[in-house]
Structure 1
Amino acid sequence: MTSLTLPDIAAQTQQHAIPLDWVGMCGIALPIQFEGRSVAATADAGVSLVDETSRGIHMSRLYLSLETLEQQTLTPLSIRRLLADFLSSHEGLSSAAYLRLNFDHLLKRPALVSPLTGWKSYAVTIDAKIENEMFHVELSIRVPYSSTCPCSAALARQLIQRQFQADFGDQEISHDAVLQWLGSTQGIVATPHSQRSQALVRVRLQDKLDRIPVTELIDSIESSLGTAVQTAVKRADEQAFALANGQNLMFCEDAARRIHLSLRQLSWSSAFTVRVEHAESLHAHDAVATSQWQW
């Protein structure tokens, strides 16, 4: 019996001679090696299609090349080699290669005061491409935090002052009486409103960097804000968190500026964008501020 050659439909000449900017696959599940552990990730992998006579690319070649991420630590160099492999497997067809990785980065964080610790998950995206023989990597992070509105804090303080005047007027009062009043719900009649907030930061890494500094970027953002959300806590930690919020009152504009200044101190950043979103507890809409540098 004569064996039949399997047809290669993608190699057939296509009817419309139009090059394509990106062709590939999205949402490929795979494990990657990052910071000493295996992490579940999804990958988007693709190349350009500049050969106007070719109907399509070889997607299976891209898929199989991704297996290299399972065995070696994820670094800019390993990504560059992978993208170079994308191009070599599509010689004559493609001039650019792209990769996007999405995964959650787990960090064990200590409580503010007590000896408790707990895990926090941070959404990470890594974008890389080779185009016109130029290679670069961009790192995106989503960091949650708490924000207390400076305006509501000022209004709350004014209401407390009014209540103090209503309760005591111009009479002379003892230190103990004031102390007791400050610790009562009768005295503290109003509190500032806080909201769950998030910072979305995208950083372009310097060329020839030998690592992908995810934890460093998260630490920089959280340190600049001072009100990172917590994991396991005791009452002492919750009190310390309330203190941190009181000492770091901020509008979304303040938060964006704080992060911007902290990112400017990072030696491995060549450009960045910042977007902060405060999920308002007063309004039914969110407050947003953005900033960028060298983008």
Structure 2
Amino acid sequence: MKHRDHRILALPDVAVEAPRDTAGTLDWVGMAGIELPIAFDAGNGETQRCGARVDAFVNLTRAASRGIHMSRLYLLLDGHLGGGRLDGPVLERLLHAFLRSQDGLADRARVSLRFEHLVRRAALRSGNSGWRAYPVLVEALLDERGFRWELETAVTYSSTCPASAALARQLIQQQFAGDFRADAPLDHAAVMAWLGSERGIVATPHAQRSTAQVRVRPAQDAPLDLLPLLDRIEQALATPVQTAVKREDEQAFALANGGNLMFCEDAARRIQRALHDGAGIARYRVRVEHHESLHPHDAVAHASGGEAAGGWIGG
């Protein structure tokens, strides 16, 4: 009977071989869409666990090398972020570990994480509350300029068109003039009844669900505080979408819309002012989209501010 040879053979590694047909450096090599659990404190001291999609990359500086050590990136991600608390220092240590793991093949590293963070929001008047899921993108880069990271999120809000509101008011004035003679005395009860009828609101301004996408680069050593950023944006806009809504909440929302008429330019400037005055933010950019109910295309405005040096991570 023949005996099997149980000696362990070295596993082949073709990645260390030189490229057969081409050679050259590469800007980025890595993996996208890695599934990973993370723990995130949005700035209120409460850690929330969720699933994230992670992209991890390094550059390839050695032209004669066929590829990077890709599996090492995955294992480092799992070791540094797999269920652990996410913050700036952790990301910086992770990117340094990326470069050490490549044995001189790379001198730049980057990582991005996409996930949603749930926030409990109070109703406007009823005393109820409900959950809002805010999208979060965290990106970090380590290169010759050092380490830097950015946070991006989005706020959904209601925007009522000022021009449409003015046109609606004019039609209501015309209706009033037709229903109440100028040379006749006004009866208080009749006017009150008219105001509460459909004739008293013969036209309404158009409003639409709108989105503000905001990216910030925190100041040096500033914490990764999502909640204060969201609160700052929503307070500036004054009409964020609601969760639990009873009739009194809906009425309060209508009042907020009436008191905060805004074009997309107004919304962008409100957020710009709020971020410009905020501590802990070195740089920011804003894109607002009003998903118009009047026509099939959107109204869009961009704003930015803060330090001007260097581009954004990811372009």
TM bin, normalised by shorter chain, reads over 0.9
Q: Which amino acid aligns with 2:75?
A: L
Q: Which amino acid aligns with 1:191?
A: T
How big is each residue's C-alpha offset from its partner over 1:202-242, in whole Å with a ceiling of 9 and x where there is no partner? 11111222x21111111111010000000011100000000
The offset of 1:173, in angstroms, is: 1.2
For 1:24, which of 30, 47, 57 is the aligned residue?
30
TM-score normalised by L of structure 1: 0.97
Matched, 1:38 2:44: no
What does residue 274 of structure 1 align with?
A: 286
Matched, 1:47 2:53: no
Gap regions ≥5 residues in structure 1: none
For 1:178, which of 177, 185, 191 is the aligned residue?
191
Q: Which amino acid aligns with 1:55?
A: R
Cα RMSD between the aligned structures? 1.1
Q: Partners in 1 of 2:84 and 2:8 — Cα distance?
A: 40
Q: Partners in 1 of 2:101 and 2:220 — Cα distance?
A: 25
For 1:144, which of 146, 149, 156 is the aligned residue?
156
What does residue 44 of structure 2 align with?
A: none
Q: Partners in 2 of 1:265 and 1:90 — Cα distance?
A: 42
Q: Partners in 2 of 1:57 and 1:169 — Cα distance?
A: 84
Q: Partners in 1 of 2:69 and 2:151 — Cα distance?
A: 28
Q: SS in structure 1 opposite 2:268?
A: helix
Q: Is the 8 A contact 2:232 2:275 kept in 1?
A: yes
Q: SS in structure 1 opposite 2:85?
A: coil
The offset of 1:169, in angstroms, is: 2.1
Q: Partners in 1 of 2:48 and 2:261 — Cα distance?
A: 37
The offset of 1:133, in angstroms, is: 5.1
The offset of 1:179, in angstroms, is: 1.1
Aligned length, in residue pairs = 294
Matched, 1:264 2:276: yes
For 1:82, which of 69, 94, 119 is the aligned residue?
94
Runs of 4+ more than 4 Å apart: none
What does residue 132 of structure 1 align with?
A: 144
- What are the residue-to-residue correspondences of 1:2-13 with 2, within 5 Å? 3-13=8-18
What does residue 58 of structure 1 align with?
A: 69
Q: Partners in 2 of 1:76 and 1:249 — Cα distance?
A: 38
Matched, 1:113 2:125: yes
The offset of 1:91, in angstroms, is: 2.8
Q: Which amino acid aligns with 2:33?
A: G
The offset of 1:71, in angstroms, is: 4.1
Q: SS in structure 1 opposite 2:201?
A: coil
Q: 250-259 or 266-275, which moves further after superposition?
A: 266-275
Gap regions ≥5 residues in structure 2: 42-46, 309-315
For 2:259, which of 244, 247, 268 is the aligned residue?
247
Q: SS in structure 2 opposite 1:186?
A: helix
For 2:244, which of 232, 249, 257 is the aligned residue?
232
What does residue 313 of structure 2 align with?
A: none
Q: Which amino acid aligns with 2:264?
A: C
How big is each residue's C-alpha offset from its partner over 1:72-105, in whole Å with a ceiling of 9 and x where there is no partner? 3111001111111101101310001100000001
Q: Partners in 1 of 2:106 and 2:51 — Cα distance?
A: 29
Q: SS in structure 1 opposite 2:49?
A: strand
Q: SS in structure 2 opposite 1:196?
A: strand
What is the identity percentage for the equivalent residue pairs of Structure 1 and Structure 2? 53
Q: Which amino acid aligns with 1:58?
A: H
Cα distance change, pair 247–160 in 1 and its aligned pair in 2 (3 A) = same
TM-score normalised by L of structure 2: 0.91
Q: Partners in 1 of 2:158 and 2:83 — Cα distance?
A: 38
Q: 30-39 or 221-230, which moves further after superposition?
A: 30-39
The offset of 1:188, in angstroms, is: 1.1
Matched, 1:207 2:215: no
Q: Partners in 1 of 2:13 and 2:191 — Cα distance?
A: 86
